[in-house]
C-alpha cells in the first residue's frame, strides 16, 4: 500500500480431494504461461514510474530477447491447470490447483490483484506445499479479463465491478466444491483487488455453510488506496504500452522492481501480456492482457468499505503489508482492539508474495496452523 501511495505522489510531482470439474487440464500449454502480471492496482503500487514510456513504439530500438528473462513453465508449481466452466456466469475460468493430501484437509484459495493472474501465487504455492508436506492445498483463480479466464458467449466480460468479481469467485468455489459438508476448510487469500474480493466473498461462503478458517489480505489498506486513486493516471503514464517480446516484459518488471524476484516474474508475467492483433507499426507485438487504465471505472468499488467488511468477517483475519503503511482510522481502532493480526514484510514491494514467496508461505502456514486447529469454542485470532 505504502509503495503505491509514494509512487503516485512521485509521479504527480516529477491429494484425495474431489476431482475438479471436467475441463482442459492443459499443463502442456504452460510453456506459454508467460504473461500474467500487469501491475496491480492499489495496494503497495503498480510498480515505480522508473522507466520511460515506450509509447512512440516506432522510434524504439528493438531489443533482442534476453534469455535470462525467458518464461518458466508453471507446471512444476501446481498439480493441475484446469478450465472451470461457469455457464451461468458465461465464463470459462482458469484455475491452478494442488489438492491437499486428505479430503478433509485445508485449501488456500488465492485471488490475484488487478492486472495480474493466478500465477503470481505460483512460487508461494510451491513453498506452502513444501512446508506442509502437501497437507495444505492451493487453489489459485484467474479473474475475468485476466490470465486464461475467457468469456464463453458473445456477451462481454468487461464488467469488473466488485459485485461481479465476487460472484465469479464464489461460483468457482461452489463449482469446484459443490457440497459444503465435504468441502475442505478454506483459507481465503487476496492480493490488492483480490483482497477486496475474498473479504466480500467470505460471508457468502459462510452463509452457504462452507468452512472458512481465515481471510488474509495482502498489501491493501482502504484509506491509502482511496488517497492514491487520483494520482493513478500519472503513475500509469510511466508504464510502457507494450513490449517487443515476452522476455522484455519480464525484464521490465524486474528492472523497475515491480517484481523483485526474477524467477517468479518469469512464471507470472507471460500471463499478463498477450500478442497484439494489430498490424499497425505503432502497436507493440505484445500488449497488456488487462490494461489497467481500462479498469479505472471500477477502482472505487473495489476499495470503498473494505476496512469495515474486513473487520466484520466472521473468521480469523490477517493483514500482510509490504511496509509500515498508515492504517486508516477504522483499521487502527480494530488493531488496538485485537480484531486482526498484522504482519509487515520488509524488503518487499507491492508484489510481496512474489518478491519473497518463502516468507509469505510461512506466514500463511502459521496463520492456518494457529487458527485451523483450535478446539471448537475457542475464539480464533482476530475474533472478538
- List 57, 112, 350, 353, catalytic entry: 350
Region of poorest pLDDT, from 18-32, 89-103, 215-229: 18-32
Determine the average pLDDT of the residues in 305-313.
Answer: 97
- List 44, 73, 98, 192, catalytic entry: 192
Residue 52 pLDDT > 50, yes or no?
no
Plot region of 94 (φ>0 → left; ψ -120 to 50 → alpha; else → beta)? beta
- Least Cα distance to 126 among 30, 267, 16 occurs for 267
Angle at 308 between CA 302 and CA 312, to 5 degrees: 115
Determine the average pLDDT of the residues in 9-36.
Answer: 44
pLDDT of residue 103: 82
Say whether 1 sits in a helix, a strand or coil.
Answer: coil
Sheet holding 242-243: strands in order across? 242-243, 286-288, 273-275
Angle at 95 between CA 92 and CA 99, to 5 degrees: 140
- List 219, 244, 355, 356, catalytic entry: 219
Residue 32 pLDDT > 80, yes or no?
no
| More confidently predicted of 282 and 323 | 282
Let me know if residue 383 belongs to a domain: no
User: Which residue range forms the structural domain that includes residue 126?
Assistant: 2-372
Using pLDDT thresholds of 50, 70 and 90, give the confidence band for residue 279.
Answer: confident
Matching residue, cell 488493531 = 335
Burial 168-177 (b: 16+ CB within 10 A, else e): bbbbbbbbbb
* DSSP annotation string for 303-350: HTTHHHHHHH-SS-EEEEESS-PPPPHHHHHHHHTT-SEEEE-TT--T
pTM comes to: 0.86
**CA Rg, the chain, in Å?**
19
Region of poorest pLDDT, from 35-39, 264-268, 294-298: 35-39
pLDDT of residue 41: 41
Region of poorest pLDDT, from 20-34, 243-257, 285-299: 20-34
Per the annotation, the verdict on 350 as an active-site residue is yes
Task: Please report, for residues 36, 156, 227, 253, the alpha-carbon distance to residue 49 in angstroms, rounded to integers and kept in the order given.
Answer: 20, 32, 18, 11
Let me know if residue 382 belongs to a domain: no
pLDDT of residue 154: 82
| More confidently predicted of 383 and 238 | 238
Angle at 63 between CA 58 and CA 64, to 5 degrees: 140
Residue 325 pLDDT > 60, yes or no?
yes
We report the CATH number of the domain holding residue 78 as 3.40.50.1820
Residue 29 pLDDT > 80, yes or no?
no
What φ, ψ does residue 95 adopt, rounded to 5°?
Answer: -130, 150
Determine the average pLDDT of the residues in 138-156.
Answer: 94
- Least Cα distance to 270 among 51, 32, 81 occurs for 32
- Least Cα distance to 102 among 190, 178, 37, 183 occurs for 183
SS3 content of the chain, % helix, strand, coil (to 5): 40, 15, 45
Let me know if residue 384 belongs to a domain: no
Per the annotation, the verdict on 27 as an active-site residue is no
Using pLDDT thresholds of 50, 70 and 90, give the confidence band for residue 62.
Answer: confident
Residue 137 pLDDT > 60, yes or no?
yes
H runs (alpha helix) in the chain: 2-13, 122-131, 162-176, 193-207, 222-228, 232-236, 246-255, 262-268, 299-303, 306-312, 329-336, 352-355, 357-372
Let me know if residue 378 belongs to a domain: no
Sort 276 into a burial class: Cβ within 10 Å, 0-12 / 13-18 / 19+. Answer: middle
pLDDT of residue 43: 44
CB 273 within 8 A of CB 284: no
Q: What is the mean pLDDT of the chain?
A: 85
Question: How many domains would you assign to the chain?
Answer: 1
Per the annotation, the verdict on 57 as an active-site residue is no
Task: Encode pLDDT of 84-107 as tens digits.
Answer: 999 999 999 999 999 999 888 999
Let me know if residue 50 belongs to a domain: yes
The three three-digit cell numbers of residue 275, written as one number: 500478442
Let me know if residue 302 belongs to a domain: yes
Amino acid at each position: 500500500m505504502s509503495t503505491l501511495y509514494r509512487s503516485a505522489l512521485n509521479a504527480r510531482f516529477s491429494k484425495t480431494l474431489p476431482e475438479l470439474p471436467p475441463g482442459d487440464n492443459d499443463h502442456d500449454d504452460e510453456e506459454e504461461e508467460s504473461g500474467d502480471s500487469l501491475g496491480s492496482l492499489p495496494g503497495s503500487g503498480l510498480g515505480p514510474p522508473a522507466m520511460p514510456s515506450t509509447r512512440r513504439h516506432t522510434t524504439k530500438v528493438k531489443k533482442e530477447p534476453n534469455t535470462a528473462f525467458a518464461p518458466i513453465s508453471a507446471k512444476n508449481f501446481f498439480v493441475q491447470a484446469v478450465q472451470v466452466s461457469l455457464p451461468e456466469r458465461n465464463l470459462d475460468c482458469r484455475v491452478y490447483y494442488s489438492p491437499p493430501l486428505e479430503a478433509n484437509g485445508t485449501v488456500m484459495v488465492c485471488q490475484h490483484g488487478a492486472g495480474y493472474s493466478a500465477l503470481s501465487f505460483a512460487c508461494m504455492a510451491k513453498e506452502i506445499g513444501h512446508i506442509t508436506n502437501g497437507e495444505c492445498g492451493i487453489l489459485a483463480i484467474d479473474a475475468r479479463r485476466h490470465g486464461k479466464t475467457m468469456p464463453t458467449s458473445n456477451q462481454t466480460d468487461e464488467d469488473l465491478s466488485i459485485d461481479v468479481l465476487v460472484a465469479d469467485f464464489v461460483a468457482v468455489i461452489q463449482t469446484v466444491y459443490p457440497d459444503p459438508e465435504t468441502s475442505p476448510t478454506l483459507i481465503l487469500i487476496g492480493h490488492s483487488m483480490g483482497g477486496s474480493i475474498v473479504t466480500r466473498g467470505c460471508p457468502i461462503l459462510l452463509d452457504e455453510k462452507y468452512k472458512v478458517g481465515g481471510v488474509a489480505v495482502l498489501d491493501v489498506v482502504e484509506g491509502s488506496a482511496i488517497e492514491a486513486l487520483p494520482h493513478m493516471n500519472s503513475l500509469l503514464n510511466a508504464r510502457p504500452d507494450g513490449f517487443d517480446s515476452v522476455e522484455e516484459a519480464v525484464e521490465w518488471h524486474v528492472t523497475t522492481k515491480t517484481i523483485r524476484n526474477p524467477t517468479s516474474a518469469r512464471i507470472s508475467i507471460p500471463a499478463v501480456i498477450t500478442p497484439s492483433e494489430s498490424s499497425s507499426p505503432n502497436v507493440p507485438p505484445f500488449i497488456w492482457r488487462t490494461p489497467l487504465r481500462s479498469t479505472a471505472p471500477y477502482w472505487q468499488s473495489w476499495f470503498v468499505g473494505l476496512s469495515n467488511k474486513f473487520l466484520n468477517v466472521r473468521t480469523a483475519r490477517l493483514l500482510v503489508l509490504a511496509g509500515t503503511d498508515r492504517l486508516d482510522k477504522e483499521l487502527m481502532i480494530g488493531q488496538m482492539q485485537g480484531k486482526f493480526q498484522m504482519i509487515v514484510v520488509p524488503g518487499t514491494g507491492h508484489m510481496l508474495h512474489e518478491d519473497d514467496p518463502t516468507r509469505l508461505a510461512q506466514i500463511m502456514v502459521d496463520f492456518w496452523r494457529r487458527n485451523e486447529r483450535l478446539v471448537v469454542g475457542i475464539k480464533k485470532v482476530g475474533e472478538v
